[in-house]
Structure 1
């Protein structure tokens, strides 16, 4: 599986609204109305992650959800990360 260079990652990130490249991860931090809304979004994302067999690292504190994506097997960012990031953006935008 091909890993993207930092320059390739940054170029591909220009097509995404909510993501940055930090410490080797695609990262987003999202705020929701309350804990229930944040947890509902996590549930929707979890089903998609399972369907893609690509699982995020994430944390939730009250209404905030932070998501970090990398392909551990490839030791870097791959197309799998961008596929899931794009799908997460679709889910967020409704």
Structure 2
């Protein structure tokens, strides 16, 4: 099985663009949520880690937005999140959820 990292990045950025509207200032993107039967998609942890690492290293950058001030990427149940401040040039950083 191969994973197209560019596809993961593209889908993440598309989600941000879709949610960039006047009613939203902060977007929280969560992976690892259980479904209605309590099952968790194992690939979600991989998706979170790939995006987190690429954001932290600067290999993935979120383009400027019109309405969103911040994007938070978290994995359900994990003690850490990554926050991307869109209103400054700050580097994305991890913080305890």
- Regarding TM over 0.5, the answer is no
Q: TM-score range by the shorter chain?
A: 0.3 to 0.5
Larger relative contact order, structure 1 or 2 (CA cutoff 8 Å, min sep 6)? 1
Greater helix share, 1 or 2? 1
Larger radius of gyration: 2
For normalisation by structure 2, the TM-score amounts to 0.34
For normalisation by structure 1, the TM-score amounts to 0.35
